Amino acid sequence: MGLPFRHRSDDPGWLGAITLGLRGRRPVFALTLASSFALAGVAVAGPAQHHFSIPAKARSEALIDLGVQARVTLGGASACPGRSPAVFGSLTLRQALDAVTAGAPCRYEILDNATVNIVAVKAAPHASAPPLASTATLEVSIDSVIVTATKRPTRLGSAPGGLSVIRAGRLRDIGAVDTTDISQQTAGFITTNLGAARNKIMLRGLSDGAFTGRTQQTVGTYLDNVPLTYNAPDPDLRLIDVDRVEILRGPQGALYGGGSLSGVYRIVSRRPVLDEVSGSVLVGGAVTESGSPSSRLETVANLPMVAGRAAARLAVYSDRDGGYVDDVNLRLSNVDRTTRSGGRAAISTLIDDNWSVTVSAARQDLHATDSQYTTPNLGGQRRANQVRETHDNVLQQGAVTITGTGDWGRFESSTGYVRHHFASRYDATAALATTALATTTLDRFSATGVDLGFFDEISKVRLLVEDAVLSSPDGGRFRGLLGLYGLASTEDGEGELRIRTYFDPSRLIYLENRRDRRREMAVYGEASYDLGGGWTASMGGRAFRSAIHTISRVEAPAPGQSRTLDRKARFTGVSPKLSLQHAWGAGGLVYLLTSEGYRSGGFNSGGVTTPSTLRGSFKPDHLRNYEIGASVSPMDGRLVLRAALFHDIWTDIQTDQYLPSGLSYTANVGDGRNTGLEIEGAARVNPNLSFEANALFSRPRLTRVDSNFASQAQSDLPGVPDVSAGLTGRYQRALAHERRLVTTAELAYIGRSRLTFDSRYSPSMGGYVTGRMSARLESPRWNLTLAVTNPANESSDTFAYGNPFSFGQVRQVTPLRPRTWTIDILRTF
């Protein structure tokens, strides 16, 4: 059982002595945590030795075991076919890799002291090419990969809890370029469809509503080890040069803290490769039925800097997604065009065999010329607005990662800085007829011809974070990790409502300027003990202390109320985690797990009039998860099945809602619970044909309605269906002249759900099937891909909401993108 939040309002602050401030100056952050932990490894001389106990088995499986026992991230194990000899004793990482790969048609690349990549060696000229089965044998297996989302290298399938990985090969097969493309590739992963960089991620049927406002997100989004957002929508970071995507389902408060209430979505980028010059260029185009064409350009380069010591990697991209929605009022076609450009750069330096440093940076600029919802009574992909609803989203991130390994264990420190700026415009004309302020304004200026209103919302977020983790060696029966975490963020927001009159094309009638400062410190850890006989018990937890300071100034002419707000609050608590698991041969596992997640509270300041005492603030919410799961790998690993039965209890659910004026506020709607079953499976029918499937069956319900929220609240949690499922099939065939044909087919079903907690404004959505089919022709240097998305041209409503200022007045529908044909050409160097 977790300790309850202890909350004190108007607190003077407790972080005055900690220099994590972001008060408009350039942030300075000393790696004190890294230095203190690093002292433990300074005395280690020469390459670290690890104790290995790997019986003779398939090389790919032996490499996975090697990575776990050496506490390194190892990728590409499936590229090494054949059988490995047994490896026992104390060896360095290189010695162990040499032993396992001796005589194999593969080689290893030590990218740094904690990252290894396995690469297939091409056959000599005129020699027979290796059979495709060697590559496909374990590529489908959802267990043959090492993941690091658990804060220490762990074999997928050996960790308790809902954990899924989508690797680079599968991302390529499904044509995934952003978050929306990987939805339905793992059980219970759902996104809204408001538009690029406007969406919310929801996991396991847990939803606090479809709107995005002041509440912290329920799913933590990470690039490597650094969070990308706090309460912003998902930035839709481009999935270019990605090693894998890791998804943790269920509350992750013990390891990741607030904002991981229902899980974690983590993008793991590819590291620079030492002593290798390589690169690629991709050019693509697409045609959408009844829409505008799209284009895509990306390039990746890997360059050595110091032989055997340092390398750089660069990825650059530019996309354009053509629009498909027509606006009859503005007399414009295909108004919802989106452009996205950016890149990532990283430099990795191997200080010695035990320590490495990686410095990385990323930037993405996204611009949408309009939103993508429609009005059904106009027919087709049409709507009638008075204003173009643009959206801009700029994300910048920098990070420094220090990693050390030795006989004493593994240490990793990640320091990151994020700047996230986003702005949206909404057509607020419909709201002018419903609010007291707008009605008075209309009366005042009726003689001068008020004909429209528009609302601009701007947020500028700066976030500084440090996460340092020290984990023990894996040799004994006891294993543990200890982490320290610090976060400092500042968000400056501005919302302004304007009207257009005959004499004034932009007259201000409402303005709010708001600043939120957040500080959080936490210590967390996890310990596990081998009980013998395949049984392991684990216990972990996180003790945290966070503070928030909100300053707001509102200008609202009479009958509105101009005002200021300056309030502080502090939150403390403990988030525990307990598990018991039993493993047996052939990759079988059964586990019991209980874990918790949380979000801190905050203040409401917006609105035409001063929020009531009951709506002036919102409380923290808390989710407790009980879970039993199992995974099996029968038929020599050709079939992998994983299932989990869970029950979640959610108290004081935070939700972002809108006032009749269209302005947002946050409330605690009440308590809820969700009982569900999630299933994932992978099957290799033969060396060339494989399938992967997933499904979630759940009952997300509201069990208690807060009397201060709304008496009309319905019983369902909004935005998430009771049933969702996905199926992907892959077939490959060898052709002449070292060519190969790979075909992929996807099918996804999204069940029905409701949009909001309020039954009065809760239209039904979902209940549709969609998919994708592709064919890729591969050669040693060239790839050609042809694909069709939404081949049946399904037009069902994916997300029945687009504009808060006309919500409840005009029926809004966000349909699937019409049938789209895509062609990509890839050249590797």
Tens-digit pLDDT profile for residues 206-242 = 988 877 777 888 999 999 999 998 888 889 999 999 9
The per-residue pLDDT for range 263-285, each reduced to its tens digit, is 999 999 999 998 889 999 999 99
Contact, 780 vs 786, CB < 8 A? no
The whole-number pLDDT of residue 575 equals 94
Cα distance between residue 130 and residue 422, in whole Å: 50
User: Any idea which residue has 């239209």 for tokens?
Assistant: 763
HEC readout, 423-447: EEEEECCHHHHCCHHHHHHHHHHHH
Predicted confidence band of residue 434 (pLDDT cuts 50, 70, 90) = low
The per-residue pLDDT for range 493-512, each reduced to its tens digit, is 999 998 887 667 778 889 99
Q: The pTM is what?
A: 0.88
Span of 418-427, 597-606, 701-710 with lowest mean pLDDT: 701-710
Q: Which of 624, 631, 623, 634 lies closest to 591 in space, CA to CA? A: 631
Structure tokens belonging to residue 122: 């091409």
Q: Give me the mean pLDDT over the 721-729 stretch.
A: 94
The whole-number pLDDT of residue 659 equals 82
Q: Which of 264, 76, 273 lies closest to 169 in space, CA to CA? A: 76
Q: Give me the mean pLDDT over the 98-102 stretch.
A: 90
Could you report how far apart the first and last alpha carbons of the chain are, in Å?
55
Predicted confidence band of residue 785 (pLDDT cuts 50, 70, 90) = very high
Rounded to 10 degrees, what is the CA torsion of 644, 649, 652, 656? 20
The whole-number pLDDT of residue 31 equals 40
Residue-averaged pLDDT of the chain: 85
- Most confident listed range (57-66, 92-101, 479-488): 479-488
The per-residue pLDDT for range 320-350, each reduced to its tens digit, is 999 999 999 999 999 999 999 999 999 999 9
Structure tokens belonging to residue 643: 């299932």
For 443, phi then psi, to 5°, come to -60, -40
* Model confidence at 819: pLDDT above 90: yes
The CATH number corresponding to 6-29+263-828 among 2.40.170.20, 2.70.98.60, 1.10.10.60, 3.20.19.10 equals 2.40.170.20
* Model confidence at 762: pLDDT above 80: no
Q: Give me the mean pLDDT over the 296-305 stretch.
A: 96
Domain range list for the chain:
6-29+263-828
HEC readout, 458-484: EEEEEEEEEEEEEECCCCCCEEEEEEE
One-character DSSP codes across 620-679: -EEEEEEEEEEEE-TGGGTEEEEEEEEEEEEES-EEEEE-TTS-EEEEE-EEEEEEEEEE
Residues in the chain, overall count: 829
> Within 13 Å, how many C-alpha atoms sit on residue 701's CB side?
8
Note the maximum CA span of the chain. Answer: 90
* Model confidence at 431: pLDDT above 70: yes
The CB density around residue 8, as the number of other CB atoms within 10 Å, is: 13
The whole-number pLDDT of residue 751 equals 93
Span of 292-306, 436-450, 600-614 with lowest mean pLDDT: 436-450
Higher pLDDT, 113 or 393: 393
The whole-number pLDDT of residue 3 equals 45
Higher pLDDT, 531 or 71: 531
Predicted confidence band of residue 557 (pLDDT cuts 50, 70, 90) = confident
Predicted confidence band of residue 712 (pLDDT cuts 50, 70, 90) = low
The per-residue pLDDT for range 786-800, each reduced to its tens digit, is 999 999 998 888 887
Residue 215 carries which side chain, given as an amino acid letter?
T
* Model confidence at 536: pLDDT above 50: yes
The per-residue pLDDT for range 134-160, each reduced to its tens digit, is 333 334 444 567 778 888 888 777 888
Q: Give me the mean pLDDT over the 520-536 stretch.
A: 94
